[in-house]
Amino acid sequence: MPEMTYAAAVRSAMEWEMAKDPRVFIMGEDIGVYGGAFGVTMGMVDRFGKTRVRDTPIAEEGIVGAGIGAALVGMRPIVELQFSDFIMNAMDQVVNQAAKIHFMFGGRMSVSLVLRGPAGAGTGAAAQHSQSLEAWFHHVPGLKVVMPAFPDDARGLLLAAIRDPNPVLFYEHKLLYKVKGDVTESDAAQPLGQGMIRRYGRHATVVTYSLMVHRVLDAALQLAKNGWDVEVIDLRSLVPMDIPLIVDSVKRTGRLAICHEAVGRGGIGGEIAARILESEAFDFLEAPLLRITGLNTPVPYSPPLEAAFMPSVDRIAQSLETWLTREVVQS
Amino acid sequence: MPEMTYAAAVRSAMEWEMAKDPRVFIMGEDIGVYGGAFGVTMGMVDRFGKTRVRDTPIAEEGIVGAGIGAALVGMRPIVELQFSDFIMNAMDQVVNQAAKIHFMFGGRMSVSLVLRGPAGAGTGAAAQHSQSLEAWFHHVPGLKVVMPAFPDDARGLLLAAIRDPNPVLFYEHKLLYKVKGDVTESDAAQPLGQGMIRRYGRHATVVTYSLMVHRVLDAALQLAKNGWDVEVIDLRSLVPMDIPLIVDSVKRTGRLAICHEAVGRGGIGGEIAARILESEAFDFLEAPLLRITGLNTPVPYSPPLEAAFMPSVDRIAQSLETWLTREVVQS
Amino acid sequence: MTRSLIESQPKLSMIDQSLEWFRTMCRIRRFDETIDELFAQGKVHGTTHLYIGEEAVATGAIATLKPGDVITSTHRGHGHNIALGGDIRAMMAELLGRSSGYCHGVGGSMHIADQALGNLGANGIVGAGLPIAVGAALGFQMRQEPHLVLAFAGDGALNEGAFHEAANLAAIWHLPVVFVVENNQYGMSGSVKEMFAIGHLADRAVGYGIPATMVDGMDIFSVWEAASQATQEVRNGHGPRLIEAVTYRYKGHSKSDANRYRTREEIQQWRQRDPLDHVRQYLEDQGVEAAALDRIRHEEIQAVAQALEFAEASPWPDASTLEEAVYAPEEVDHA
Amino acid sequence: MTRSLIESQPKLSMIDQSLEWFRTMCRIRRFDETIDELFAQGKVHGTTHLYIGEEAVATGAIATLKPGDVITSTHRGHGHNIALGGDIRAMMAELLGRSSGYCHGVGGSMHIADQALGNLGANGIVGAGLPIAVGAALGFQMRQEPHLVLAFAGDGALNEGAFHEAANLAAIWHLPVVFVVENNQYGMSGSVKEMFAIGHLADRAVGYGIPATMVDGMDIFSVWEAASQATQEVRNGHGPRLIEAVTYRYKGHSKSDANRYRTREEIQQWRQRDPLDHVRQYLEDQGVEAAALDRIRHEEIQAVAQALEFAEASPWPDASTLEEAVYAPEEVDHA
Ligand SMILES: Cc1ncc(C[n+]2csc(CCOP(=O)(O)OP(=O)(O)O)c2C)c(N)n1
Ligand SMILES: Cc1ncc(C[n+]2csc(CCOP(=O)(O)OP(=O)(O)O)c2C)c(N)n1
Ligand SMILES: [Mg+2]
Ligand SMILES: [Mg+2]
């Protein structure tokens, strides 16, 4: 199992599938000789040519729509969004077209399309280039949403996304691109919809995904020094979401915390909370919910402001500790 | 207090403010002689002329952006979206521009802009013309979101929206346009962010807004016949949201149900649930959450399918009754 | 890759071909007249956009397609699907929201499309089909297949960003796509005179480097000729083409239109130049008997009546499986 | 409605004016060179887009504005704000993320804009400023004010739907807006040769009915002349204009650009036609002493150095009030 960066793992999945399946191709802004704004497609054009690694004009609505059209005649396009924020320029194509075509035409068509690109803050790219918008898309029936935290997952889940007959949003956190890990270079895709317990614990369940998995795990280590033992669930895929895994965990720990980078208000944490509150885990809940999220602001630029926007290891650890101290002693 | 339809109340607010404030104008597709797809602006062009009641090309990104630009030089534009679904074509202008400008430029600018239009299902307009997308926008810092259920609220809250220095989304449910009610024709705006208890009750709190307020109230009447007494909160404005009102109510009733027409997964119900689960009301919760929502599908066309998509009075009453029967007996 | 009912042209004489066209146009007209009546009677749900008056455009343009070619359609899409050879029974059933409809009642008027015949979709969103058309053309080009895409758009759609981005992609990649602009003078109530500052919509194509022509959309021979030339050029690898077909919508934009933005006289004037009358006149001039033409018309009236019977007798769909229908369990056959 | 530092032109002689321009261009260049150095040293966070090589465009075009006129800017906006008379201390502080910055550190490079001088915003989203520009022009027209809007856009932005919709609105409503297209040959790595199928970007304006001209963007006199004519026509009520200024970006697109999509030779060739050298040559030809010009340059180098000192000495912003800053408590003064 070679070690590689998250960016290389994403590339590896694309190259694997392109070598194997002539229907697969990628298009996007500056993905050819430039190698992509974050270098994810670096070198791919040399291997697969300009036709299958296709530079596009700056026209997100056009290229996402073109991805849909290509899928409708049997191709398997991957469209790179240079920053995932730019999906707004293609919102109609993503939501009114790609997501609905299968259902709306009575099952006569399917749109096998991957939209992938960098999400999240932490690079000083400011309000229009740093968003975490997954909550919008998990609210859209017909889309799948995948946000892996580790290189191996990125590769295996991207293989599954490319092979999926439905449109899949695949969000890569910018700060994960350089993270390294062992990656299985096989043909085996990882099924969408399975979460994973990254750490077992008994005091609380902390549900998280993407970059925040790493921060929560670091925070859990800090907490462990003070005798707190939290369970950490990495969702990996948000649609479909592994609700049974969370319910089961909360039944054991009795406490639910959720951590995501996206703006708290209306973030995916709300849906998770509601699902648990609706479930049989309700009777096991011993403490109020804790959400640790991005601030309710656009992402600010200046380093101290941006750092305050994002949940940091310290903020996560402190929030959890305050909460656990109050709730575990009380109950 | 004259009785008027919801549509007339919306028009009344616009006309009032246009008569009073020369900065206010409205633009949109077919709002002039045509009178708007739902007749909301009928006759306005005769009174205010084609300059201030401005027909536009079919170009949502352009006209929402133009609204922003006009606001930046001191106008107070209202942009009508012919169907609120078409906001997707203007998503970048709404979210990356209007919502962020004040914050992102360090408070140097403000965007006093109202985006209004018909939302929701029930008219057989199918998947691309029937959506309830408010959950997206309540996740966007910088936007306000208003969804009145009654004509009087529509008028008073629209006055507030037009006068607000921030961008406000004002969603009118299509099936409400013909609903009549007494309307105060005064200059008094109703402040954004205040919910209202439409019915007092002791067994459960049902939080809802827009069209569903009417259906929940009807369901509550049915339930009352069987001895169930539910409290009904009409949120009226989703951002800002009157959380204290809900917390307070749940502390009294011990049970929380939420009803909205929007797709359940990722809908605003999740955020409300989370807010309650985080609050002091947690200790008063005696039952799992109940959400009664649109199905997790695009809106289907055929009458029986569309009816199944939307929470009906019967579905609401039955869901509540089953839940109450189980939970109130148990506890 | 697809079963297609589109016949290639050469084997038909001009008279035979015109008879076929006349039949198709009668079918389109009668179909939409019937829908109009159903709406007036309150028998249909939702809204609809009738193609009456514009029959020559779809019929003439689609007549130039070959097996394997595809189209993208619009909110005003019944005519496109019928010209393609679509099953009017399944169309009628869809409009009535029945389970035997093209989309099993899920889609309705704006989402009728026979994908097996190469219709990649009607579309409720103005302009949204155009980038999709371009993507299909890209797929054909990448696979080096000889097919092309006919992308229908209204005049109003030309002011949407989607048109712009699609046109430019088609141009720079030399894609096999013909944009057919149905300039029926209005986008809902917005007149082209007010919504464009150019005299001819075809001139907009200049800005992308796309050759364009303008034709009389009430005259199927002109439409067919222009489309034949455009499709031929596209097939020869010369890249995209745009055709502006000047036409007129007789009926209101959708079911709720009081026609306040145009005059009765204007409508009357355009009706003088009816596209069905035009082809009929040609056939009579060629010696085809009026009775034979009437027979065709009546056969189509009959066929539409039967489609309506079929639809009305069809069961309503079942809501219980809706949530399972959202995601494709596996890839669907492609156009 | 606004305090404006834009001087009206007539009172300056051509030499005085050119001296002013030279000063402005030196300031822009030095400012962005300094930013480049700061990035190289890892002293700045995020990314930035330098205007080096394109100074003549902003300087020449903005020189034609009158008090009350406004601009919309782009991601490559430092030059626009400086040409408008913006405070380089507040700009530098913003880039360094300090509380004394234009946006108190909230915005960064892509959101620097002096609204009091009429800058309605730099923009991180390609093309997004254009509909906003059109709306501002609409506001002026509705209030019957004589102001106009200068809307900057890159070549790449012309392929965005936002450009298209904005251009058409401006055209049909005869709005007072001049689109200034900074054709620096590339949108990031995408060459205009590959991303357009037309020879001159100005030709795209034809499709909207907007008169357009192409000018040498390395020559401030040409830019100024074209902009003078365009703004004059717009002020006379003739509706929008578009100017394509052909120019070149010397530096990489943003901080992380290996220039793999172009050659060293190409960059070198364009540098031969440096816009600062060009105006300097003119001034020397007019008898202005080289020493006087050097002095101007040094003054600007000094000013930028002082701005940097100011910025570095400024405090970091405080995160505790962020959430309060999202909504405007009341309307802000307008441009
Ligand atoms: C994005 C979007 N905006 C607005 C509408 C509402 N609408 C439906 S059809 C139509 C007019 C379209 O005009 P045109 O493209 O000329 O086609 P026509 O109806 O004349 O055939 C409008 C405004 C829509 N469906 N989608
Ligand atoms: C909608 C959108 N798409 C893509 C980008 C990423 N991006 C930023 S600048 C740029 C190139 C813009 O090219 P051009 O308009 O020619 O301006 P230039 O950078 O050459 O000045 C790109 C692709 C963006 N910021 N916004
Ligand atoms: Mg039309
Ligand atoms: Mg450029």
CA-based max dimension of chain A: 64
Given this model, what pLDDT does residue C1 score?
Answer: 34
Q: Taking CB atoms and an 8 Å limit, are D327 and B142 in contact across chains?
A: yes
Q: How far apart are CA B82 and CA B59, in angstroms?
A: 11
Closest CA to D240 of D206, D199, D196: D206
CA distance C71 to C182: 14
| Nearest residue to C20 (alpha-carbon basis) of C9, C31, C30 | C9
Cα of A183 from ligand 1 centre, angstroms: 50
Q: Using CA positions, which residue lies closest to atom 5 of ligand 2?
A: D126
Interface test with B, best of D165, D318, D334 (most B CBs within 10 A): D165
Residues B239-291: pLDDT tens digits?
Answer: 999 999 999 999 999 999 999 999 999 999 999 999 999 999 999 999 999 99
Q: Report which DSSP code applies to B228.
A: -
- Report the distance separating Cα C235 and Cα A251, nearest Å: 64
Q: Find the CB nearest B273 among A91, A263, A270.
A: A270
Using the 8-state DSSP alphabet, how is residue A255 labeled?
-
Which atom belonging to ligand 1 lies closest to the Cα atom of C187? 13
What's the rounded Cα separation, in Å, for the pair B98 and B68? 6
Cα-to-centroid distance, A59 and ligand 3 (Å): 25
Show which residues on chain D lie within 8 Å of chain A, measured between beta carbons. 44-47, 97-98, 101, 103, 105-111, 123-127, 156-157, 159-162, 187-190, 194-195, 256-258, 260-261, 316-317, 319, 322-323, 325-326
**pLDDT band at residue B302 using 50, 70 and 90 as cut-offs:** very high
B residues 125-164 lying closer than 8 A (beta carbon) to C: 125-129
- CB-nearest to A103 from C130, C326, C335 is C326
Strand partners, A116: A80, A170
Which DSSP state fits B25? E
Angle at the Cα of D230 (from D143 to D135), degrees rounded to 5? 35
- Decide if B60 is catalytic: yes
Q: Nearest-CA neighbor of C127 among C94, C89, C160, C100?
A: C160
Nearest to D332 among B67, B92, B110 (CB): B110
Q: What is the 3-state secondary structure (H, E, C) of chain D?
A: CCCCCCCCCCCCCHHHHHHHHHHHHHHHHHHHHHHHHHHHCCCCCCCCCCCCCCHHHHHHHHCCCCCCCEEECCCCCHHHHHHCCCCHHHHHHHHCCCCCCCCCCCCCHHHCCCHHHCECCCCCCCCCHHHHHHHHHHHHHHCCCCCCEEEEEECHHHHCHHHHHHHHHHHHCCCCEEEEEEECCEECCEEHHHHCCCCCHHHHHHHHCCCEEEEECCCHHHHHHHHHHHHHHHHCCCCCEEEEEECCCCCCCCCCCCCCCCCHHHHHHHHCCCHHHHHHHHHHHCCCCHHHHHHHHHHHHHHHHHHHHHHHHCCCCCHHHHHHHCCCCCCCCCC
Whole-number Å distance between alpha carbons of B300 and C322: 9
Are B241 and B193 in contact by the 8 Å Cβ rule? The answer is yes
pLDDT more than 70, % of chain A: 99
- Alpha helices by DSSP H, listed for chain A, are 6-20, 44-52, 60-72, 91, 99-104, 134-138, 151-163, 211-225, 243-253, 268-278, 303-309, 313-330
Per-residue pLDDT of chain D (335 residues; tens, 9 = 90+): 333 444 444 456 899 999 999 999 999 999 999 999 999 999 898 999 999 999 999 999 999 999 999 999 999 999 999 999 999 999 999 999 999 999 999 999 999 999 999 999 999 999 999 999 999 999 999 999 999 999 999 999 999 999 999 999 999 999 999 999 999 999 999 999 999 999 999 999 999 999 999 999 999 999 999 999 999 999 999 999 999 999 999 999 988 788 999 999 999 999 999 999 999 999 999 999 999 999 999 999 999 999 999 999 999 999 999 999 999 998 777 76
DSSP C48-99: ----TT-HHHHHHHHTT--TT-EEE--SS-HHHHHHTT--HHHHHHHHTT-T
The total number of residues shown for chain A amounts to: 331
Residue A92, chain D, CB below 8 Å: the answer is: no
Q: Which residues of A touch D256 (CB under 8 A)?
A: 37
- Candidates B72, B280, A16, C217; CA nearest to D115 is B72
Mean pLDDT computed over every residue of chain B = 97
Q: What is the pLDDT of residue C5?
A: 41
Q: Tokens standing for D266?
A: 């190409």
Inter-chain CB proximity B305 and C97 less than 8 Å: yes
The answer to whether residues B17 and B41 touch, using CB atoms and an 8 Å cutoff, is no
Residue carrying structure tokens 């033992």: A229
Nearest to C62 by CA among C214, C183, C223: C223
Look at ligand 2, atom 12, and give the residue with the nearest C-alpha: D187
B-chain residue closest to D101, CA distance: B106
- How far apart are alpha carbons D99 and D101 in whole angstroms? 5
Flag whether pLDDT at A51 surpasses 70: yes
Pocket of ligand 1 (CB under 6 A): B 29, 58, 60, 82, 86, 89; C 49, 75-76, 124-126, 154-157, 182, 184, 186-188, 249, 253
Rounded-to-integer distance, Cα C211 and Cα C197, Å: 20
Residue B35 to residue B97: CA distance in whole angstroms:
29
Set of chain D residues whose Cβ sits within 8 Å of the Cβ of C204: 207-208
Which residue is catalytic, options B15, B60, B231, B261? B60
- Closest atom of ligand 1 to C75 CA is 9
A294 and B CB contact within 8 Å: no
**Chain D residues within an 8 Å CB radius of B64:** 131
- Two tokens, residue A195: 């979460």
Q: How far is the CA of A78 from the centre of ligand 4 (A)?
A: 25
CA end-to-end span of chain C: 6
Q: Note whether B251 contacts A: Cβ–Cβ < 8 A.
A: no
Is there a contact between B55 and C97 if contact means CB atoms under 8 Å apart?
no
Within 8 A of D166 by CB-CB distance, chain B residues are 62, 65-66
Chain B contact present for A155, CB below 8 A: no
Identify all chain C residues contacting D160, using CB atoms and an 8 Å cutoff.
161, 164-165
* Minimum-distance ligand 1 atom for the alpha carbon of C124: 25
Sequence-ordered list of residues with C-beta below 8 angstroms from that of C194, at least 6 positions apart, any chain:
B55, D172
Q: What ipTM was assigned to the predicted interfaces of this complex?
A: 0.97
D210: chain C residues, CB-CB within 8 Å: 197
- Average pLDDT (A43-71) is 98
Alpha-carbon distance D239 to D69, whole Å?
Answer: 15
DSSP-assigned beta bridge partners for residue B292: B259
Instruction: With CA atoms as reference, report the closest residue to D165 among A264, B36, C326, B62.
Output: B62
Measured distance CA(C223)–CA(C214) in Å, rounded: 9
Best A58, A92, A93, A297 member to test B by mutation, with max B CBs in 10 Å, is A92
Q: How far is CA D270 from CA D185, D219, D240, in A?
A: 11, 12, 30
Q: pLDDT for B112-139, tens place per residue?
A: 999 999 999 999 999 999 999 999 999 9
Nearest to B265 among A86, A271, A296 (CB): A271
Chain C hits for D159, Cβ within 8 Å: 164-165, 168
Tokens 């914050």 identify what position? B103
Query: What does pLDDT average to in each consecutive run of 10 residues of chain C (335 residues)?
Result: 41 87 98 97 92 98 98 98 98 98 97 98 98 98 98 98 98 98 98 97 97 98 98 97 98 90 97 97 96 98 98 97 95 75
Collapsing DSSP to helix, strand or coil, B234 comes out as strand
Q: Which of residues 286-305 of A touch D (CB under 8 A)?
A: 295-298, 300-305
pTM of the model: 0.97
Report the C-alpha gap between D310 and C232 in whole angstroms.
67
Q: A269 with B74: CB under 8 angstroms?
A: no
Residue C231, H or E segment: helix C220-235
Residues B144 and C43: their CA atoms lie apart, in Å, by 40
Please name which of A319, A226, A243 lies closest in space to residue A281, comparing C-alpha atoms.
A243
Enumerate domains of chain A plus CATH numbers: 3-182 (3.40.50.970), 196-330 (3.40.50.920)
Report how many Cβ contacts below 8 Å link chain A to chain D: 128
Which of C185, C188, C201 best tests ligand 1's pocket when mutated (most atoms within 8 Å of CB)? Answer: C188
Q: Whose CA is nearest to atom 13 of ligand 2?
A: D187
Structure tokens at C109: 């008027």
Nearest Cα to Cα of residue B221 among B295, B307, B320: B320
* Dihedral over Cα of A294, A295, A299, A300: its sign: negative
Helices in chain B by DSSP H: which ranges?
A: 6-20, 44-52, 60-72, 91, 99-104, 134-138, 151-163, 211-225, 243-253, 268-278, 303-309, 313-330
| Burial class, C267, CB count within 10 angstroms (exposed 0-12 / middle 13-18 / buried 19+) | middle
Asked if D198's CB is within 8 angstroms of C207's CB, the reply is yes
- Closest partner residue to A304 (CB to CB) among D127, D261, D317 is D317
Which residue matches tokens 């200046």?
A302
Other CB atoms within 10 Å distance of the CB of residue D185: 16
Q: Which domains does chain C have, with CATH numbers?
A: 3-321 (3.40.50.970)
Amino acid code (one letter) for A159 = L
- Nearest-ligand number for the alpha carbon of D165: 1
Averaged confidence pLDDT in chain A: 97
Distance of alpha carbon B90 from alpha carbon A88, whole angstroms: 8
B230: number of Cβ within 10 Å: 25
CB neighbourhood size of A300 (10 A): 32
- CA dist., res. A76 & res. A113, Å (int): 6
Residue B119 near residue B84 (C-beta atoms within 8 A): yes
Tell me the H-state helices in B105-231: 134-138, 151-163, 211-225
Atom of ligand 1 nearest to the CA of A92: 1
Residues with CB under 6 A from ligand 2: A 29, 58, 60, 82, 86, 89; D 49, 75-76, 124-126, 154-157, 182, 184, 186-188, 249, 253
Residue B330 has pLDDT above 70, yes or no: no
The H or E element containing residue C131 is helix C129-142
- In the set B15, B29, B129, B214, the catalytic residue is B129
User: Which of these, A24, A31, A90, lies nearest to A55 by C-alpha position?
Assistant: A31
Task: List beta partners, residue B14.
Answer: none
CA–centroid distance, residue C106 to ligand 4 (Å): 45
